[in-house]
Structure 1
Amino acid sequence: MANISTGAQGTIDESQLKGKSLLLPFILICSLFFLWGIAHNLDSILIPHLKKACQLNNRQSTYIDMAVFFAYFVMAIPAGMLLKRFGYKNSIIIGLVLFACGALIFVPAANTLEYGLFIGGLFIIGCGLATLETAANPYASVLGDPAKSTFRLNLAASFNGLAAIAGPLIGKLFILSGKEYTKDQMAAMTDTNRLSYLMGEASAVKLPYIILACILIAVAILFYFSNLPEIKNISKEETAGGNFFGALKHRHLSWSVVAQFFYVGAQVCVTSFFIRMAKQGAGFDEKTAADYLIAYGLLFTGGRFAGTFFLRFITSNKLLAIYAVISVVLCAVAILGKGAYVVYCLGAIGFFMSIMFPTIFALGIDGIGDDTKPGSSWLVMSIVGGAVIPYIMATVIDFSGDNIQKGYIIPLICFIVILYFGISGYKIKKTIA
Structure 2
Amino acid sequence: MEHYSQAAPVASGQPKGEHQTGSYTGPLVIVTILFFMWGLLTSLNDVLIPHLKAVYTLTYVQAMLVQFCFFGAYFIVSLPAGMLIKKIGYQNGAVAGLTIAAAGCALFYPAATSGYTLFLIAFFVLAGGITILQVAANPYVAVLGDPRTASSRLTLTQAFNSLGTTVAPFLGGMLILAGGVLSSSDLAKFSADQLAAYNAAQATAVQGPYLALAAALLLLAILFALARLPKIADAEAAPGEAQGTFADVLKHRHLALGAVAIFLYVGGEVSIGSFLINFLGEPHVAGLTAAEASHYVGYYWMGAMIGRFIGFVVMQKVSPGKALAFNAAAVIVLVLTAIFSQGDVAKWSIVTVGLFNSIMFPTIFSMALNKLGPLTGQGSGVLCMAIVGGALVPFAQGLLADHLSLQVSFFVPAACYLFILYFGLKYANMYNEK
TM-score, shorter chain, exceeding 0.5: yes
Percent same amino acid among aligned pairs? 36
Q: Distance in 2 between matches of 1:409 and 1:244?
A: 32
| Kept after mapping to 2: 8 A contact 1:247/1:374 | yes
Q: Which SS does the other structure have where 1:327 is aligned?
A: helix
Q: What is the TM-score when the length of structure 1 is the normalising length?
A: 0.94
* Other-structure match for 1:311: 315
Q: Distance in 2 between matches of 1:75 and 1:425?
A: 31
Q: Which SS does the other structure have where 1:367 is aligned?
A: coil
CA RMSD, 1 decimal: 1.9
Larger displacement relative to structure 2 (414-423 or 151-160) = 151-160
Larger displacement relative to structure 2 (233-242 or 56-65) = 233-242
Shift in Å, 1:7: 5.1
Q: Are positions 1:197 and 2:198 aligned together?
A: yes
Within the candidate set 357, 365, 369, 2:369 is matched to 365
Within the candidate set 58, 75, 78, 1:76 is matched to 78
Structure 1: state its 5+ residue gaps: none
Q: Distance in 1 between matches of 2:331 and 2:216?
A: 37
In structure 1, give the amino acid aligned to 2:133: L
7 and 127 in structure 1: CA distance in 2 versus 1, 3 angstrom threshold: closer
How many corresponding residue pairs? 425
Q: How does 1:187-266 map to 2 (within 5 A)?
A: 187-232=188-233, 234=235, 241-266=243-268
* Other-structure match for 1:294: 298
Shift in Å, 1:14: 4.6
1:258-307: per-residue Cα shift (whole Å, max 9, x none)? 00000000110111111001111221122221111111121111011111
Q: Which SS does the other structure have where 1:111 is aligned?
A: coil
* Other-structure match for 1:9: 12
In structure 2, give the amino acid aligned to 1:322: F
Q: How does 1:67-216 map to 2 (within 5 A)?
A: 67-112=69-114, 114-216=115-217
In structure 1, give the amino acid aligned to 2:377: K
Within the candidate set 301, 311, 326, 1:322 is matched to 326
Larger displacement relative to structure 2 (166-175 or 233-242) = 233-242
Shift in Å, 1:240: 6.4
| Kept after mapping to 2: 8 A contact 1:140/1:149 | yes
Q: Distance in 2 between matches of 1:143 and 1:340?
A: 46
In structure 2, give the amino acid aligned to 1:92: A
1:173-201: per-residue Cα shift (whole Å, max 9, x none)? 10003533332321221122212221111
| Kept after mapping to 1: 8 A contact 2:10/2:135 | no
* Other-structure match for 1:406: 408
208 and 176 in structure 1: CA distance in 2 versus 1, 3 angstrom threshold: same
Within the candidate set 37, 40, 45, 1:38 is matched to 40
Q: Distance in 2 between matches of 1:368 and 1:211?
A: 44
* Other-structure match for 1:282: 286
Shift in Å, 1:12: 2.0
In structure 1, give the amino acid aligned to 2:243: G
Shift in Å, 1:16: 6.8
Q: Which SS does the other structure have where 1:40 is aligned?
A: helix
